[in-house]
Amino acid sequence: MIDIQISEKKFWDNNVEGYIFFLKEGIELVGKKEDFEKVEKDFYSNLKEIFKKHKFEGKIGQSFVLTATKDKSLIQLVFVGIGKLKNRWNIELENFRRAVGTSVKLLKKLKIENAVLSVPDEKSFGLIKPKLVRQIVITSLLAEYEFTKFKSDKKEDIKIQLLMDVGSDESQPFAISLKEGQIIGNATNFARYLSDMPANYMTPTSLGNEAKKIADKNDLECTVFGAEKAKELGMGGFLSVDAGSEEEGKFVVIEYKSLKKDAPTIALVGKGVTFDSGGLSLKPSACMEGMKFDMSGAAAVIATMSAIGQIKPQVNVVGITPLVENMPSGKSCKLNDIITFMNGKTAEIKNTDAEGRLILADALCYAEKFYKPDVILDIATLTGACLSALGHFFTALLTKNEEIGTKLQAISLVSGDRVWPLPLDDDFKKAVESNVADISNIGLPEYKAGTITAAWFLSNFVEKTKWAHLDIAGTADSIPSISYLGKGATGAGVRLFVDFILNYNIDKR
Ligand code: BES
Ligand code: ZN
Ligand code: MG
């Protein structure tokens, strides 16, 4: 548990166990010179010498803790490096987020139950202070998340109170930043929880129930249907993957309706394969491990809807997630089967492990047909090739719409939920042609570029709507080097979607 508040007092006037300070490389506080002087005056007059002795230079990743006495009790001074500041704002902001992550992890480790965090000065990292506060709130919540549900001896969960010293700027809209930050941080952690849950618990049915629960809680419309209705709608892609599993697939639709008249509509479509064994094109064991994360796109969409239900922007949002398990069995879809999607197009199955695009195809048709949205964004752990191209740090962004693409990338770099474009160029279009059907479900091997050919496959199912595809195969789970995420599910897409929606120009249609 972490409780975050804005502090109106100077840091030294708060009765707490710890102070957190951020230092640039070369040992300089970010802004706030007076804070540093106060520490030197009250506690350690030779602070810089001490840092030097211990080789603490304020580099990114470095931290240093000193204990001091104040009013006869001990107080921990936590110094965290943020590296260099050279006006490369996006990079520096991400470094700062990681420093915040390091701080929160330190508070937990040292069992410091209440602390004041000295918020850097106006315009550091290219953000106005309320926006920076919003980032600190989100990041602190992310840093606090741990997946301990199945640990018998849970470490006692300490409750941390974090006070943000914003200086004497009370007139700025910090309350909104705090509230939005909390909603977004908690929603991202909810997505992480859904993804971290193993596939024996998080089946299509239970994930569908989680969606219903979250919709109820936030006054959102939620519809969940299964194979029967999917058959009526002609969802041959969804059904072909669903066929192999004992668990019934579910198709989930969550709607947020803005009170504003004629508001634009954004559709979010998320891949929800609760376990991807590969089907009859069975994955080797080492590749199958981790495939509980194959519903992370759906988790991002469901969690985004919960945040949107709370923030209530002036944009309509519909979240659509097809949920299935991809399994081999006597009822599985076979190689060279030909299936027909909701829009009447046909595809030859050349590999049953390219299942995500099959369920997304019907979901994209469904979004366009029933909601006529202004924009469709889909998100999926779609291709292993994406992991090779961008690793765990960047989500692949593929779109033919330059405006949406530029916007998404810019927003992603500020939110820390980073995307990088790959070309959805005509040169790759022929890769998914088939001899016997309209298209093939995998790209021809000579075209390589599996992430791009998968996106070309999907493009067949969006007729006239502005559309962007996000491949989170790499970013859905993390390696430990991002301090505020650690290992496990990341909630990739939630921070990006919420900010995209909140920034969507409501006058532009
Ligand atoms: N779920 C996988 C993609 C994936 C791989 C996500 C590794 C995360 C880590 C997807 O369904 C898949 O198996 N894709 C195949 C497609 C291929 C058969 C064209 C792949 O990438 O190998
Ligand atoms: Zn998959
Ligand atoms: Mg697969």
The domains found in the chain, sorted by start residue, are 2-170 (3.40.220.10), 216-502 (3.40.630.10)
pLDDT greater than 90 at residue 318:
yes
Residue to mutate, 335, 352, 383, ligand 1, most ligand atoms under 8 Å from C-beta: 383
Helix (H) or strand (E) holding 497: helix 494-502
Q: For residue 281, which atom of ligand 1 is closest to its CA?
A: 18
* Distance from C-alpha of 499 to C-alpha of 412, rounded to nearest angstrom: 8
- Tell me which ligand sits closest to the C-alpha of residue 271: 2
Confidence label for 36 from pLDDT (cuts 50, 70 and 90): confident
Mean pLDDT of 258-273: 97
Q: Is the CB of 477 under 6 A from ligand 1?
A: no
Q: What is the pLDDT of residue 202?
A: 98
Tokens read off for 429 = 């279009």
- Fill in the amino acid letter for 167: G
End-to-end CA distance of the chain: 42
Q: Is the CB of 385 under 6 A from ligand 1?
A: yes
Q: For residue 453, which atom of ligand 1 is closest to its CA?
A: 19
Closest residue by CA, ligand 1 atom 22? 384
Confidence label for 9 from pLDDT (cuts 50, 70 and 90): confident
Strand partners, 225: 251
Residue 232's contacts (CB-CB under 8 Å, 6 or more residues apart) are none
Cα 395 to averaged position of ligand 1 atoms, centre (Å): 15
Q: Is the CB of 442 under 6 A from ligand 1?
A: yes
**Is 283 tagged catalytic?**
yes
Query: Please, are residues 6 and 137 in contact by the beta-carbon 8 Å criterion?
Result: no
* Distance from C-alpha of 118 to C-alpha of 163, rounded to nearest angstrom: 9
pLDDT greater than 50 at residue 324:
yes
Per the model's pLDDT, the better-predicted residue between 205 and 9 turns out to be 205
Mean pLDDT of 455-466: 98
Characterise 71 by phi-psi region: left (phi > 0), alpha (psi -120 to 50), beta (else). Answer: left
Closest residue by CA, ligand 1 atom 16? 354
Q: In this structure, what are the phi and psi dihedrals at residue 194, rounded to the nearest 5 degrees?
A: -60, -40
- Count Cβ neighbours within 10 Å for each residue of 282-312 and write b for 16 or more, e otherwise: ebeeeeeeebbbbbbbbbbbbbbbbbbbbbe
Cα 351 to averaged position of ligand 2 atoms, centre (Å): 11
Q: Is the CB of 268 under 6 A from ligand 1?
A: no
Q: For residue 276, which atom of ligand 1 is closest to its CA?
A: 1
Q: What is the pLDDT of residue 401?
A: 98
Q: What is the pLDDT of residue 31?
A: 65
Cα 277 to averaged position of ligand 2 atoms, centre (Å): 8
The one catalytic residue among 357, 407, 418, 495: 357
Q: Is the CB of 473 under 6 A from ligand 1?
A: yes
pLDDT tens for 102-141 read: 999 999 999 999 999 999 876 779 899 999 999 999 999 9
- Residues comprising the chain, all counted: 509
Q: What is the pLDDT of residue 509?
A: 43
* Distance from C-alpha of 332 to C-alpha of 351, rounded to nearest angstrom: 12
Confidence label for 358 from pLDDT (cuts 50, 70 and 90): very high
**Is 134 tagged catalytic?**
no
Alpha helices in 315-430 (DSSP H): 356-371, 384-390, 402-415
Model-level pTM?
0.98
Query: Please, are residues 301 and 354 in contact by the beta-carbon 8 Å criterion?
Result: no
Q: For residue 353, which atom of ligand 1 is closest to its CA?
A: 13
Query: Please, are residues 454 and 354 in contact by the beta-carbon 8 Å criterion?
Result: yes
Burial of 426 (0-12, 13-18, 19+ CB in 10 A): exposed
Cα 450 to averaged position of ligand 3 atoms, centre (Å): 12
Q: Is the CB of 276 under 6 A from ligand 1?
A: yes
* Distance from C-alpha of 30 to C-alpha of 85, rounded to nearest angstrom: 9
Q: Is the CB of 337 under 6 A from ligand 1?
A: no
pLDDT greater than 60 at residue 306:
yes
Closest residue by CA, ligand 1 atom 7? 384
Provide the percentage of residues in the chain whose pLDDT is more than 90. 89
Cα distances (angstroms) measured from residue 462 to each of 82, 346, 427, 433, 501: 43, 15, 19, 17, 20
Q: For residue 476, which atom of ligand 1 is closest to its CA?
A: 8
Query: Please, are residues 107 and 48 in contact by the beta-carbon 8 Å criterion?
Result: no
Cα 399 to averaged position of ligand 3 atoms, centre (Å): 22
Confidence label for 255 from pLDDT (cuts 50, 70 and 90): very high
Q: Is the CB of 101 under 6 A from ligand 1?
A: no
Taking Cα atoms as reference points, which of 19, 57, 14 lies closest to residue 39?
19
* Distance from C-alpha of 355 to C-alpha of 448, rounded to nearest angstrom: 18
Query: Please, are residues 255 and 216 in contact by the beta-carbon 8 Å criterion?
Result: no
Q: What is the pLDDT of residue 507?
A: 53
Q: Is the CB of 387 under 6 A from ligand 1?
A: yes
pLDDT greater than 50 at residue 17:
yes
pLDDT tens for 386-444 read: 999 999 999 999 999 999 999 999 999 999 999 999 999 999 999 999 999 999 999 99
- The helix-helix angle for 296-311 and 204-217 (nearest 10°) equals 10
pLDDT tens for 149-199 read: 999 988 778 899 999 998 876 678 999 999 999 999 999 999 999 999 999
Confidence label for 506 from pLDDT (cuts 50, 70 and 90): low
Q: What is the pLDDT of residue 47?
A: 93
Three-state SS at 413: helix
Query: Please, are residues 112 and 63 in contact by the beta-carbon 8 Å criterion?
Result: no
- Count Cβ neighbours within 10 Å for each residue of 338-364 and write b for 16 or more, e otherwise: ebbbbbebebbbbebbbbbbbbbbbbb
- Tell me which ligand sits closest to the C-alpha of residue 391: 1
Cα 276 to averaged position of ligand 2 atoms, centre (Å): 5
Mean pLDDT of 488-494: 98
Cα distances (angstroms) measured from residue 460 to each of 187, 232, 347: 32, 21, 11
* Distance from C-alpha of 120 to C-alpha of 140, rounded to nearest angstrom: 15
Q: Is the CB of 282 under 6 A from ligand 1?
A: no
Among 250-259, 354-363, 497-506, the least confident range: 497-506
> How high is the mean pLDDT of the chain?
95
Taking Cα atoms as reference points, which of 362, 371, 395, 382 lies closest to residue 493?
395
Cα 353 to averaged position of ligand 2 atoms, centre (Å): 6
pLDDT greater than 80 at residue 508:
no
